[in-house]
C-alpha cells in the first residue's frame, strides 16, 4: 500500500507540472494591461448609453436589443479576462442595474467615460435619428479603440505610446481571440444602426463618424 501511495503521489506531481498555470498580470505588459482595463469601461459605456436611449425611445428596439444582449455579454467578457489575468476590475459594481448606469469608477479613465456618457446621451436626446447616430458613433469608436491604442491612453503620461496597445499590438492569443470577437460584434451593431438610420435618410447616405468612409463602406458591404 505504501508503494502504491508513493506512485500515485509521483503521478500527481508530474500531472501538475504538465497542467498550464493560470494566467497572471505578469503575463501582460503595461500596454496590454491598460488597454484591457480601458476596454472594460468602453464596453460598459456602450451598454449604458444604449440602455438610457432605450428608455427614451421605446419604439426603437435596437437600443435595448443590443444593450441587453451583446453589450452586456461584451462587458462581462472583458471583466472575466481581467479576472483571468489577476487585474482589478475598474467597475466591480457594473452589473448592479440600474444604479451603475453612467457610473464609471476606474481610477485612470473613469473621468473620461463619465464625460463621454454625458455627452453621448445629451446628443441622443435630440431625436431618434441623432440617437441612432450615437449608436453608430460608439460602434465606430469601439472598433478603432479595439484595434489600436486609444488616443486618451496615448495622451496620458503613462509611458504607453501610439501602437503600444490594442489588437494589432498584443501577442497574447487569448486577448487576440477576445478582441476579434468584440470587433465582429461591433461590425454587426454598426450594420444594424446604419440600416435604421438609412431607413430615415435614404439608403447609401450614412457618413462615417470615426472610421474612414472606405472602412465603413467595407463593413457595410458596399
pLDDT at residue 189, as a whole number: 97
pLDDT at residue 26, as a whole number: 56
Domain boundaries of the chain, sorted by first residue = 26-220
Based on the number of CB atoms within 10 Å of its own CB, is 32 exposed (0-12), middle (13-18) or buried (19 or more)? buried
pLDDT at residue 158, as a whole number: 86
pLDDT at residue 72, as a whole number: 94
Using DSSP, state whether 165 is helix, strand or coil.
coil
Topology of domain 26-220, CATH: Ferritin (1.20.1260)
pTM above 0.85, yes or no: yes
- Average pLDDT per 10 consecutive residues for the chain, totaling 222 residues: 41 40 67 97 97 96 93 96 97 97 96 98 98 98 97 92 96 97 97 97 97 97 94
Peptide bond before 176: cis, by omega within 30 degrees of 0?
no
Taking the C-alpha atoms of residue 16 and residue 30, their distance in angstroms, rounded to an integer, is: 30
Are the CB atoms for 168 and 148 separated by under 8 Å? yes
pLDDT at residue 178, as a whole number: 97
Amino acid at each position: 500500500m505504501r508503494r502504491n501511495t508513493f506512485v500515485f503521489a509521483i503521478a500527481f506531481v508530474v500531472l501538475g507540472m504538465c497542467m498550464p498555470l493560470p494566467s497572471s498580470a505578469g503575463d501582460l505588459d503595461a500596454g496590454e494591461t491598460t488597454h484591457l482595463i480601458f476596454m472594460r469601461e468602453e464596453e460598459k459605456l456602450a451598454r449604458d448609453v444604449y440602455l438610457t436611449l432605450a428608455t427614451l425611445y421605446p419604439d426603437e428596439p435596437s437600443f435595448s436589443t443590443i444593450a441587453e444582449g451583446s453589450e452586456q455579454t461584451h462587458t462581462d467578457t472583458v471583466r472575466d479576462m481581467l479576472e483571468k489575468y489577476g487585474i482589478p476590475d475598474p467597475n466591480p459594481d457594473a452589473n448592479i442595474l440600474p444604479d451603475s448606469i453612467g457610473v464609471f469608477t476606474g481610477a485612470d479613465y473613469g473621468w473620461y467615460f463619465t464625460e463621454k456618457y454625458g455627452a453621448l446621451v445629451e446628443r441622443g436626446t435630440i431625436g431618434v435619428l441623432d440617437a441612432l447616430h450615437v449608436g453608430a458613433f460608439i460602434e465606430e469608436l469601439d472598433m478603432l479603440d479595439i484595434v489600436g491604442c486609444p488616443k486618451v491612453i496615448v495622451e496620458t503620461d503613462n509611458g504607453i505610446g501610439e501602437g503600444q496597445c490594442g489588437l494589432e499590438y498584443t501577442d497574447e492569443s487569448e486577448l487576440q481571440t477576445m478582441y476579434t470577437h468584440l470587433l465582429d460584434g461591433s461590425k454587426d451593431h454598426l450594420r444594424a444602426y446604419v440600416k435604421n438610420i438609412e431607413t430615415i435618410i435614404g439608403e447609401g447616405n450614412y457618413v462615417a463618424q470615426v472610421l474612414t468612409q472606405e472602412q465603413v463602406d467595407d463593413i457595410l458591404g458596399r
